[in-house]
């Protein structure tokens, strides 16, 4: 691989990619940063090009045009579209897995079978293709019932049902097309009791290392109520991740997963997001994602002291063994997601946002997710999760105070956020 300065193509357009771009742009190794399709906030950090994350041919043409030395895949949709495979075939270094390895996220049924094949601790489960067998399978479980769409559903394909009637309704809705093809099969799972957390691990195909841990909030409203979302906020460090738990995540989940996927013919290059339940018996897998989390990534990037680019390059080029463990700032970081009214079911787009780009001080960064800019500069809601207000502080409380004070000075009547991000850690 070429040495610095590097031409980097970053694929994606959400808050996660804005955070990655922010960190990549700070690297002394960077030559040119091109983002596809990027967003209005990312445009300030490099060049944005209107090529969709799933347009593999368009992205390959862009790779050639800009002579990309490294491609960083942000979203799972690009993994599912086969971008990692196309780049491997063209011998272009890529941070992000192949489509086969991507099944660790794109199919919950694949992942449950994979966990069985490689001895990863996870919840007991049944996979069903039709409503009658799915309803009958509920007999093997007790409430609350966990009903999941098999495929990608933007974090919204999971229902935790307190009663059998609700569980049956969730089965009918999922198999009835609520999530399109992603819901052609359902996975029914044992409900795991414990505290949930997100841990990240890098792999270069052979060598792996942990790369941070975060806690997020999946429910839409305060007090963990309302529907599941892609994530309404996150914070780190998360006290649930004791050194012992991190060690167990590494030895029982991350390393066996990387060895397993390599044994199945698809060595993993990129980041694996391990969502786990910390139970009385140690960590049990809730799900894998084959990319950084959103909004977890935003918090990781605020806390990462090390340059990110050498880690991305090392994963893409099989040189992770040469890298020291990452250095994290001795500070707390939080992300408060501001979402459009109606999110997650039916976000109202088009409302005007004022004051999102003021100077909030050195410890606050506002990343754009589903926001778009008019020709005259006006910022508008253009998606469900719209802004990510992130802050650092010496304590979690201080980081939260900074983030919420920035939230309060953003004038956006059409949006909402949770006011209790980090409550688990504050309650300890
Ligand atoms: P997932 O999309 O699989 O991450 O699930 C979304 C959320 O549902 C998770 O963040 C958990 O809070 C919850 N969840 C998923 N699976 C289980 C389970 N087996 N037991 C308890 N909670 C679960």
Closest residue (by CA) to atom 10 of ligand 1? 218
The model's confidence at residue 125, banded by pLDDT at 50, 70 and 90, is very high
Confidence of residue 176 (pLDDT cuts 50, 70, 90): confident
Residue nearest to atom 2 of ligand 1 (CA): 155
Mean pLDDT of 71-87: 97
Atom of ligand 1 nearest to the CA of 275: 4
Q: What is the average pLDDT score of the chain?
A: 95
Residues facing 374 on adjacent strands: none
Query: Residue 194: its pLDDT value, please?
Result: 94
What's the pLDDT score for residue 109?
87
pLDDT for the residue 183: 65
3-state SS of 41-99?
Answer: CHHHHCEECCCCCCCHHHHHHHHHHHCCCEEEECCHHHHHHCHHHHHHHCCCCEECCCH
Cβ of 287 below 6 Å from ligand 1: yes
Residue 158 CB less than 6 A away from ligand 1: yes
**Tokens at 180, concatenated:** 């399109």
Question: In this predicted structure, what is the pLDDT of residue 175?
Answer: 85
Predicted confidence (pLDDT) at residue 233 exceeds the cutoff of 90: yes
Residue in this structure with the two tokens 């790779």, named with its chain if needed: 63
Return the HEC string of the chain: CCCCCEEEEEEECCHHHHHHHHHHHCCCCEEEEEEEECCCCHHHHCEECCCCCCCHHHHHHHHHHHCCCEEEECCHHHHHHCHHHHHHHCCCCEECCCHHHHHHHHCHHHHHHHHHHHCCCECCEEEECCHHHHHHHHHHCCCCEEEEECCCCCCCCEEEECCHHHHHHHHHHHHHHHCHHHHCCEEEECCCCCEEEEEEEEEECCCEEEEEEEEEEEEEECCCEEEEEEEEEEEECCCCCCHHHHHHHHHHHHHHHHHHHHHCCCCCEEEEEEEEEEECCEEEEEEEECCCCCCHHHHHHHHECCCCHHHHHHHHHCCHHHCCCCCECCCEEEEEEEEECCCCCCCCCCCEEECCCCCCCCCEEEEECCEEECCCCCEEECCCEEEEEEEEECCHHHHHHHHHHHHHCCECCCEECCCCCCHHHHHC
Q: Is residue 196 in contact with ligand 1, taking CB distance under 6 Å?
A: yes
Q: Please work out whether the CB of residue 192 comes within 6 Å of at least one atom of ligand 1.
A: yes
Is the predicted pLDDT of residue 151 greater than 80, yes or no? no
Give yes or no for residue 154 CB within 6 A of ligand 1. no
CA torsion 262-265-270-275 (nearest 10°) is -60
| Distance from the alpha carbon of residue 383 to the mean position of ligand 1, in angstroms | 24
Query: Ligand 1: distance of its center to the CA of 96 in Å?
Result: 24
* Pick from 221, 360, 232: nearest CA to 298: 232
Q: Does the pLDDT value for residue 150 go beyond 90?
A: no
Contact present, 37 and 372 (Cβ < 8 Å): no
Give the residue, out of 157, 158, 186, with the most ligand 1 atoms within 8 A of its beta carbon, to mutate for a pocket test: 158
Pocket probe mutation, ligand 1, options 179, 286, 294, max atoms within 8 Å of Cβ: 286
Q: Is 105 in the pocket of ligand 1 (CB under 6 A)?
A: no
Q: What is the mean pLDDT of residues 136-157?
A: 84
Of the candidates 14, 11, 10, 49, the one whose C-alpha atom is nearest the C-alpha of residue 386 is: 14
- Distance of alpha carbon 250 from alpha carbon 419, whole angstroms: 33
Residue with tokens 């508008």: 380
Mean pLDDT of 215-230: 93
- The reply to whether ligand 1 has any atom less than 6 angstroms from the CB of 228 is yes
At residue 197, φ and ψ (nearest 5 deg) are -155, 165
Residue 364: pLDDT band (50, 70, 90) is very high
């Amino acid at each position: 691989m070429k040495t610095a300065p590097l031409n980097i193509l970053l694929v994606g357009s959400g808050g996660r990619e804005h955070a990655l771009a922010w960190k990549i742009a700070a690297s002394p190794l960077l030559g040119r940063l091109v983002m596809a399709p990027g967003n209005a906030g990312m445009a300030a950090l490099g060049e944005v090009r209107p090529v969709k994350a799933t347009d593999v041919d368009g992205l390959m043409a862009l790779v050639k045009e800009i002579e990309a030395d490294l491609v960083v895949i942000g979203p799972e949709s690009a993994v599912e579209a086969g971008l990692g495979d196309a780049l491997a075939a063209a011998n272009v270094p890529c941070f992000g897995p192949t489509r086969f390895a991507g099944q660790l996220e794109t199919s919950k049924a694949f992942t449950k079978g994979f966990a069985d094949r490689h001895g990863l601790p996870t919840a007991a489960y049944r996979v069903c293709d039709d409503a009658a067998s799915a309803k009958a399978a509920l007999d093997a479980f007790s409430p609350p019932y966990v009903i999941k769409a098999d495929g990608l559903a933007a974090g919204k394909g999971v229902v935790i049902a307190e009663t059998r009637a609700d569980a049956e309704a969730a089965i009918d809705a999922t198999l009835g097309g609520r999530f399109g093809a992603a819901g052609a099969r359902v996975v029914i799972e044992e409900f795991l009791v414990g505290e949930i957390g997100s841990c990240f691990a890098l792999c270069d195909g052979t060598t792996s290392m942990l790369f941070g841990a975060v806690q997020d909030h999946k429910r839409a409203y305060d007090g963990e109520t309302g529907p599941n979302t892609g994530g309404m906020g996150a914070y780190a460090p998360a006290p649930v991740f004791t050194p012992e738990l991190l060690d167990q995540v590494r030895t029982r989940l991350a390393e066996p997963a990387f060895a397993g996927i390599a044994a199945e013919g698809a060595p993993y290059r990129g980041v694996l997001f391990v969502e786990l339940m910390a139970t009385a018996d140690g960590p049990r897998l809730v799900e894998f994602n084959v990319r950084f989390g959103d909004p977890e990534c935003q918090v990781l990037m605020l806390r990462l002291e090390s340059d990110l680019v050498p880690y991305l390059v090392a994963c893409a080029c099989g040189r992770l063994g040469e890298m020291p463990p990452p250095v994290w700032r001795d500070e707390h970081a939080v992300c408060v997601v501001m979402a459009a009214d109606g999110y997650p079911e039916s976000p109202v787009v088009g409302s005007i946002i004022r004051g999102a780009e003021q100077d909030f001080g050195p410890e606050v960064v506002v990343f754009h997710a589903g926001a778009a800019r008019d020709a005259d500069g006006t910022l508008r809601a253009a998606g469900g999760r719209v802004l990510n207000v992130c802050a650092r502080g010496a304590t979690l409380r201080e980081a939260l105070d900074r983030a919420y004070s920035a939230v309060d000075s953003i004038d956006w009547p059409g949006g909402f956020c949770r006011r209790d991000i980090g409550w688990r850690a504050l309650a300890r």
